[in-house]
């Protein structure tokens, strides 16, 4: 095989591998529910200590804990601004990590959060807990 053909073949393989990797990364959040144990809406309501409608004040952080402004409490009560561990983190260099059930929350988005408390005052949630993004603009 000539050097030119070999280069084209290598480029095609790398391109295909990158496309598959990108598709897996992009589609992974949509498959998070597949990893969750089956629960009903009533069970998710029962298990959550707090259920709130919120707006994200920031995107993923290096710690995976994000701040949200509470729009309303549906279950429980607490402060107007809360901290929630979403299971997705991003470092300042752009690298990051996330759990399979983590929530990719961007600044300004509205969410309904089903959360459990912790001794540190940081709520914990995931797609398995029932948290979901409100549709609409931002």
User: pLDDT tens across 20-45, in order?
Assistant: 333 334 434 444 444 777 688 889 99
- Domain, as residue range, for 17: 3-30
Confidence of residue 93 (pLDDT cuts 50, 70, 90): confident
Nearest 5 degrees, angle CA 90-CA 93-CA 95? 45
Are 18 and 48 part of one and the same domain?
Answer: no
18 and 73, same structural domain? no
Same domain, 47 and 112: yes
pTM: 0.69
Which one is predicted more confidently, 73 or 9?
A: 73
- CA 27/CA 19 separation, integer angstroms: 12
Q: Tell me: the pLDDT tens digits for 103-122?
A: 999 999 999 999 998 767 89
Asked whether 6 and 101 are in contact (CB, 8 A), the reply is no
* CATH number of 107's domain: 2.40.50.120
pLDDT in tens, 31-87: 444 477 768 888 999 999 999 999 999 999 999 999 999 999 999 999 999 999 999
Output phi, psi for 10, to 5 deg: -65, -45
Task: Please state the domain count of the chain.
Answer: 2
């Amino acid at each position: 095989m000539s050097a030119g053909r070999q280069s084209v073949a290598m480029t095609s393989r790398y391109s295909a591998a990158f496309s598959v990797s990108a598709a897996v990364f992009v589609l992974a959040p949509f498959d998070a529910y597949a990893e969750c144990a089956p629960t009903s809406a009533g069970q998710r309501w029962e298990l959550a200590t707090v259920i709130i409608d919120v707006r994200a004040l920031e995107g993923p952080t290096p710690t995976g804990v994000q701040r949200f402004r509470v729009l309303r409490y549906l279950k429980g009560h607490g402060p107007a601004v809360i901290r929630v561990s979403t299971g997705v983190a991003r470092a300042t260099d752009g690298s990051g990590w996330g759990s399979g059930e983590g929530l990719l929350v961007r600044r300004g988005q509205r969410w309904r959060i089903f959360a459990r408390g912790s001794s540190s005052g940081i709520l914990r949630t995931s797609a398995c807990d029932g948290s979901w993004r409100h549709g609409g603009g931002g």
